[in-house]
């Protein structure tokens, strides 16, 4: 029913979810999860937002406060809140969403630089408008779009030395996951030379699955494992399995895998299935 559909922005900061949360929206279904690293007692530096703009437009955001920098949770919160406030100013009849997203990220970057405390965050943003996907990112958090049969239709390239090496074929995913410089990033919010990479426009198919995630996901699961878990079936079930598998690899080494405990945040989305009469 319409009155059961969430229409207001949902944000999560310093969250400690015990299980993924399902969010019904007018245009599709979202499942979110966020929790801190099992190896620390300090705050979860990740943040996320689910922002319904109107009946045909949805914005999803994940921000990952950069580890090793001070106040990562502050940087991720500022980024999310600035984007939410920027998107609230959109005129529903004439949605200039691209400029709004870019302006919001630029404003967040300026606010974080103004703190003068060295804090930083990555960000991934997806806009789904009339079933067309457009992605924006700065840093090494992940956006992945997959089809029901397992084809990866789109994936961001991490702004990091290992991300570029992996994309160019110099190393494979196993080597990237174990690389000693895997946590170095070359682009982030809170930098004077920050840049936003904009992805192509992609038409979403009915059973496509979209994932946005902090690097707690990609540091612990290979792409084919993420796809195998997420590409079909009940979305909440896929989210629960992603959560469990990541947590397992974070605390216990398996074979040649190294434990990568980290804050873990992800957002899964699928279009609402159309009912045929």
The pLDDT assigned to 92 comes to: 53
CB 49 within 8 A of CB 58: no
- Across the chain, mean pLDDT equals 90
Q: For residue range 35-71, what is the model confidence (pLDDT) as tens digits? A: 999 999 999 999 999 999 988 899 999 999 997 778 8
| Domains of the chain, first to last | 2-271 (3.60.40.10)
Predicted local distance difference test score (pLDDT) of residue 55: 85
State the pTM of this model. 0.93
Does pLDDT of 277 surpass 60?
A: no
Of 24-28, 51-55, 88-92, minimum mean pLDDT range: 88-92
User: Is residue 90 scored above 90 in pLDDT?
Assistant: no
pLDDT tens digits for range 213-246: 999 999 999 999 999 999 999 999 999 999 999 9
Express each pLDDT in 114-127 by its tens digit. Answer: 999 999 999 999 99
Q: CB neighbours of 77 closer than 8 A, spacing ≥ 6?
A: 13, 47, 63
Give the model's pLDDT for residue 59: 97
pLDDT tier at 154, thresholds 50, 70, 90: very high
Q: Find all residues with CB under 8 Å of 169, minimum gap 6, and list them.
A: none
């Amino acid at each position: 029913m319409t009155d059961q559909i969430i229409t207001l922005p949902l944000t999560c900061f310093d969250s400690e979810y015990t299980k993924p949360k399902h969010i019904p929206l007018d245009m599709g279904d979202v499942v979110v999860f966020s929790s801190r690293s099992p190896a620390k007692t300090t705050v979860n530096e990740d943040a996320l937002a689910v922002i319904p703009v109107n009946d045909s437009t949805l914005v999803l955001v994940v921000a990952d406060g950069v580890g090793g920098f001070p106040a990562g949770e502050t940087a991720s919160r500022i980024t999310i809140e600035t984007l939410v406030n920027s998107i609230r100013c959109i005129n529903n009849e004439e949605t200039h969403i691209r400029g709004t997203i870019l302006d919001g990220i630029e404003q967040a970057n300026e606010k974080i630089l103004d703190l003068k405390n060295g804090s930083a965050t990555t960000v991934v943003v997806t806009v789904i408008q009339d079933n067309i996907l457009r992605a924006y990112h700065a840093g090494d958090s992940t956006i992945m779009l997959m089809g029901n049969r397992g084809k990866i239709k789109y994936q961001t390239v991490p702004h990091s030395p290992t991300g570029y090496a992996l994309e160019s074929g110099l190393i494979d995913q196993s080597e990237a996951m174990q690389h000693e410089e895997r946590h170095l990033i070359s682009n982030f919010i809170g930098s004077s030379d920050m840049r936003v990479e904009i992805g192509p426009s992609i038409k979403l198919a009915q059973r496509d699955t979209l994932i946005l995630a902090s690097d707690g996901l990609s540091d612990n699961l290979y792409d084919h494992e993420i796809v195998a878990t997420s590409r079909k079936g009940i979305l909440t079930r896929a989210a629960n399995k992603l959560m469990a598998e990541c947590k397992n690899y974070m605390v216990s080494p398996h074979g040649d895998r190294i434990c990568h405990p980290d804050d873990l945040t992800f957002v899964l989305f699928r279009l609402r299935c159309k009912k045929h009469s």
